[in-house]
A and B are shown apart, each in its own frame.
Chain A
Amino acid sequence: MKSFHLIRRSDVTLKQKVLLYILGIVISFVIGGIFLASLGINPIIYYRDMITIGLIGNRYPAKCVEGFLKLFVPLIITSVALSLSFKMRFWNIGGEGEFITGAIFAALVAFKLGPVLPTTAVIPLMGIAAALAAGVIGFITAHLKVKFNTNETLVTLMVNYIMLYVIKYIGETKAEWNFFLRDDSERPVFAKFPESAMMPGIKIGDFTLLASVIIAILITVGVYYYIKTTKHGFEVSVVGDSTNTAKYAGMSVYKITVRTIFISAALIGLAGAFTAASSGTISTDITNNVGWTGVIVAWLSKLSTPAIALVSVLISVLQYGCQVASASYPSIDHNFADLMQGIFLFSILAADFFGNFKIVKTGGKNDA
Chain B
Amino acid sequence: MKKLLSVLVASVMMCTALLTGCSAGEEASEGGSASGDIMVGAIYINSQNDTAGYTYAHHNGITTAMENLGLSTTDNLKIIDNVAEDDEQVGTAIDQLAGQGCDIIFGISFGYINAFAEAAEEYPDIVFCHATGYLNNDTNFNNYFGRIYQARYLAGIAAGYKSLELGNNNLGYVSAWGTEYAETCSGINAFTLGALSVNPDAVVHVNQISTWGDQELERQAAEVLISTYNCCVVAQHCDSAQPQIVANEQGVFGCGYNSDMAADAPDAHLTAPVWNWDVFYQLAIETAMNGEAADFYTNIGGNYYGGLSEGMVDISPLTDNNAPEAAEAIAIARDLMVSGEWDVFSGTALVFSGEAGSVSVEQVATDLVTNDGEVIVAAGGPSVDDGVIQGSMNYYVAGVIAEA
Contact = CB atoms under 8 A, between A and B. Distances in A.
Nearest to B7: A23
Given A58-B100, A186-B182, A333-B82, A48 B11 contact: no
B264 interface: no
Contacts of A330: 48, 63, 73-74, 77, 79
A242 interface: no
B4 A281 contact: no
A187 interface: yes
B99 A54 contact: yes
B5 interface: yes
Nearest to B132: A187
A334 B47 contact: yes
Interface in A57-77: 57-61, 63-64, 66-67, 70-71
A204 B89 CA distance: 23
B48 A333 contact: yes
Interface string B165-187: 00000000000000011100000
B391 A187 contact: yes
A243 B73 CA distance: 62
A60 B95 contact: yes
A270 B74 CA distance: 42
Nearest to B31: A57
B184 to A, nearest CB: 10
Interface stretch (B18-26, B197-205, B280-288, B346-354): B18-26
A16 B4 CA distance: 10
B88 interface: yes
Interface in A158-217: 174, 182, 184-190, 192
B18 A44 contact: yes
A327 B111 contact: no
B385 interface: no
Contacts of A220: none
B341 interface: no
B81 A285 contact: no
Nearest to A44: B22
B15 interface: yes
A275 interface: yes
Given A60-B95, A64-B95, A54 B73 contact: no
Interface residues of A, number: 58
Contacts of A29: 15
Contacts of A20: 4
Contacts of A19: 4-5, 8
A280 interface: yes
A275 B88 CA distance: 8
Contacts of A331: 49
B81 A283 contact: no
Nearest to A275: B88
B96 A283 contact: no
Contacts of A30: 11
A335 interface: yes
Interface in A112-148: none
Given A19-B5, A334-B81, A70 B98 contact: no
Contact of A70 (B12, B19, B92): B92
Contacts of A67: 91-92, 95-96
A285 B89 contact: yes
Contacts of A57: 30, 100-101
A283 B111 contact: yes
A304 interface: no
Given A30-B11, A57-B30, A334-B82, A323 B391 contact: no
Q: Which of B1, B8, B92, B110 has the most CB of A within 10 A?
A: B92
Contacts of A279: 86-88, 91
A10 B47 CA distance: 47
Contacts of A285: 84-86, 89
Given A44-B19, A44-B22, A192-B114, A283 B98 contact: no
B180 A54 contact: no
Interface in A252-286: 275, 278-281, 283-286
Contact of B99 (A58, A70, A188): A58
B53 to A, nearest CB: 14
B110 A189 contact: yes
A329 B101 CA distance: 15
Q: Which of B22, B30, B86, B101 has the most CB of A within 10 A?
A: B86
A58 B97 CA distance: 9
11 contacts: A59-B100, A60-B98, A63-B95, A66-B95, A186-B394, A284-B86, A323-B93, A327-B96, A330-B74, A330-B77, A334-B81
The 4 A-B residue pairs with the shortest CB-CB distance, nearest first, are: A279-B88, A334-B82, A285-B84, A283-B86
